[in-house]
Amino acid sequence: MNLHEYQAKTLFKEYDIPTTNFVVVDSHDDVENKVQQLKTNKWVAKAQVHAGGRGKAGGVKVLDSIEEIETFVKYWIGKNLITYQTDEIGQPVSTILVEECTNIIKELYLGIVIDRSSQSIVVMASPDGGVDIEAIAENSPERIFKVPIDLIAGPKREDALFLAKGLALSDEQVEQFVKIFNNLIQLFIDKDLALVEINPLIIDESKKLKCLDGKINVDSNALYRQQDILKMRDTSQEEERELKASEWDLNYIALDGNIGCMVNGAGLAMGTMDIIKSSGGLPANFLDVGGSVNKESVSEAFKIILSDKKVKAILINIFGGIVKCDVVAEGIIKAVEEVGVNIPVIVRLKGNNSEKAQILLETSSLNIISESDLSKAALKAVELSR
């Protein structure tokens, strides 16, 4: 689950990680009242969406008067912000963060990710922060300094010092950095984060370090024990199909290809995507319908796949162990009766009640292609998607 910048900064404040004073508005009527809490005559207004690249897309602006802030807020609220990180529709803007403008001396980068290969979290820092960090990562990866953190021993001062050296900080800033480093790791662990990114972390006129941006991703599997974080969820920012799927407890992830997949079991779903790819096609989604599905949830899953207009063929690969194949067949038939289907559907059903399922599908009005060999089923799906 992603957080908005203002939510990330609220957590930073809680963990004594320096940020700028800010207010959050959701209407231009609010601006004058709220902005008075800030002691400045120069502000930065920032559209709040779950995507980066806002600066380059006009979603971040330095403003000199209350009127300008009101105009900015009026312009963006209710609109979609399209950046290089969003799709062509963009993300809806319903809140704007307004903060005291900082005079930036230097922009740095600081982030923490989970690194599976070192089985730890890794803190990354670069002296070349700012809106072009992706280009730095691509062209000069040696400018990004990394340290793995031993979660049992805890963060070590020498690791913080190594990054501080990479950032070319002054002695005074090194101590500020060590504190930010320790507090950010603590926040990461306490709140079950999967990613935190501060880009830019800046040095201001008084030589102080400050976080001007904040991106946080929380491990969704931990949300059951992060109730205060869960309250920050903004479903308006989530992919429509993924949101719908989550309401039905379906593990669905939207992808870019044109072959819709319906599979039971995460491993089999991964394998199915692989075999589509190695047969020359591209999956439109990952979908694990799980073992506890019923006719209704299968039907919803099928409708979610169909609602993706990129989908030109559907490959259903069910290995009935816990899940019964006939329940899946009934769900598919129900969905098709409700919304219709005019693209090829290739089905491979094996295991629990597969004969019963086969009969159900054959006697339905559906144009279904049955193929019990997975390699052949995948090839067929790729061929028919073209």
Residue 46 CB, nearest distance to ligand GDP (Å)? 6
Q: Which of 96, 109, 130, 209 binds ligand GDP (CB under 6 A)?
A: 130
Choose one: 47-55, 179-187, 267-275, 355-363; the region binding ligand GDP (CB under 6 A). 47-55
The verdict on 128 binding Mn ion (CB under 5 A) reads no
Closest to ligand GDP by CB, 149 vs 212, is 212
3-state secondary structure of 236: helix
Beta bridge pairs of residue 96: 25, 47
Indicate which single residue of 17, 73, 101, 325 sits in contact with ligand GDP (rule: CB under 6 A). 101
54 binds ligand GDP (CB under 6 A): yes
Residue 357, classed as helix, strand or coil, is helix
Q: Catalytic residue at 84?
A: no
By C-alpha distance, which of 286, 304, 323, 193 is closest to 247?
304
Count helices and strands (H / E) in the chain.
Answer: 13, 18
70, 107, 197, 371: the catalytic one is 197
> By CB under 6 A, which span of 46-54, 69-77, 187-195, 329-337 interacts with ligand GDP?
46-54
Task: Say whether residue 55 binds ligand GDP (CB under 6 A).
Answer: yes
18 is a site residue for ligand GDP (CB under 6 A): no
Among candidate residues 70, 107, 109, 300, the one labeled active-site is 109
Q: Figure out which of the listed residues 111, 166, 200, 265 binds ligand GDP, where binding follows CB under 6 A.
A: 200
Nearest to 56 by CA among 118, 109, 135: 135
- Confirm or reject binding of residue 62 to ligand GDP (CB under 6 A): yes
Distance (Å, whole) CA 274 – CA 29: 52
Please report whether residue 137 would count as binding ligand GDP according to CB under 6 A.
Answer: no
Instruction: Kindly report the backbone phi and psi dihedral angles of residue 205, in degrees, each rounded to the nearest multiple of 5, phi listed first.
Output: -55, -35
Q: Report how far residue 345's alpha carbon sits from residue 95's, in angstroms, rounded to the nearest whole number.
A: 42
Question: What is each CA distance from 382 to 42, 258, 309, in whole angstroms?
Answer: 56, 9, 16
- According to DSSP, residue 143 is labeled G
Q: Which of residues 206-225 bind Mn ion (CB under 5 A)?
A: 213
The residue count for binding Mn ion (CB under 5 A) is 2
- Residues 37-76 as x/- pattern, contact with Mn ion by CB under 5 A: ----------------------------------------
Task: State yes or no: residue 199 binds Mn ion (CB under 5 A).
Answer: yes
Q: Dmax of the chain from CA atoms? A: 78
State the nearest-atom distance from the C-beta of 199 to Mn ion, in Å: 4
As given in the structure block, the two tokens for residue 213 are: 């941006």
Distance CA 163, CA 350 (A): 54
264 binds ligand GDP (CB under 6 A): no
47 to 6, 80, 98, 207: CA distances (angstroms): 10, 10, 9, 27
Radius of gyration of the chain (CA): 25
Q: Confirm whether 6 is a catalytic residue.
A: no
- Residues marked active site are found at 109, 197
User: Interface residues with Mn ion (CB under 5 A)?
Assistant: 199, 213
Binding residues (CB under 6 A) for ligand GDP: these are: 44, 46, 52-55, 60, 62, 101-102, 104, 107, 130-131, 199-200, 212-213
